[in-house]
Structure 1
C-alpha cells in the first residue's frame, strides 16, 4: 500500500513539472516568430557566421546566461536553437526550471536548418 501511494505521488509530481517541447528545426518557419521569441544560444562568433532571421543571440556559455533571459516574459513562447541541438536542449531544460511555461527546443540546430 505504501508503494502504491508513493508511486501515485511521484506520478502526480512529475506531471506537474514543466517540460519543454521539441520539434525539428526544419519545421520552424518565420510565422512562428509572430507568436514567440526565437533564441539562438550559440556564441556571438557562431551567430555572426549565420543565423535564423529575427533570432535573439544569448550565449549559453555566458556566466550571466540566466540573467539575460529575465527580459523575456515567462508566459512567452520561446523557440531555442544552437548549432546541432546539445546546448539548446540544456537551455530549454534550464528555462523550464526557471518557470518559463512554453519552451520549444528546435532539434537538429542551425546546421540542419541551413541544410534543409
Structure 2
C-alpha cells in the first residue's frame, strides 16, 4: 500500500511539474526584421512599445509606439498593457528590448516580438519614423 501511495505521489509531482512547464512555454519571444515589424504594426491588436528614454523617443520613434522607459519601475509600468495581446518591443539597437522581452515573458505576456537591431536597423532599412 505504501509503495502504491509513493508511486502515486511521484506521478502526481511529475504531472504538476510538466503542467507548470507547459504554462511557461505558452509565452514566446520572437525576433523580427523591420519588414516583419512593419506587418505587425498594421495589426490593431499588436501593442507597440518603445523602451528607450523619453529623449530618445522624442528624437524619432515608430508610428503608433508608446514609450515605456526601461528603468527600475518598468514592471509596474507594464500594467497598462494587455497580457493577452501581442506586444512588439524595440530600443536603440536591441539590448534593452531583449531584456524587456524577457521581463514581459516572466510577467505572463503570451506573444512578444523584439525588433532585431532596434530603431537603428529600422532607420537603416529606410523605414518611416515620427517625432
Same fold by TM (over 0.5)? yes
Aligned to 1:93: 102
Partners in 1 of 2:31 and 2:117 — Cα distance?
10
- Whether the 8 Å contact between 1:26 and 1:112 is mirrored in structure 2 is no
TM-score scaled by structure 1?
Answer: 0.81
What are the ranges of 5 or more consecutive residues in structure 2 without an aligned counterpart? 1-13, 126-131
TM-score scaled by structure 2?
Answer: 0.72
SS at 1:20 equivalent = strand
- 1:77-102 CA distance string (max 9 Å, x none): 10000000010010000000010001
User: Which structure's CA Rg is the greater one?
Assistant: 2
Aligned to 1:28: 37
Give how far 1:16 is off: 4.2
CA-based RMSD: 2.1
Partners in 2 of 1:48 and 1:81 — Cα distance?
15
What are the ranges of 5 or more consecutive residues in structure 1 without an aligned counterpart? 1-5
Give how far 1:14 is off: 7.3
- 1:7-38 CA distance string (max 9 Å, x none): xx78x937843331121134321314x22110
Give how far 1:64 is off: 1.2
Equivalent position to 1:37, from 43, 47, 64: 47
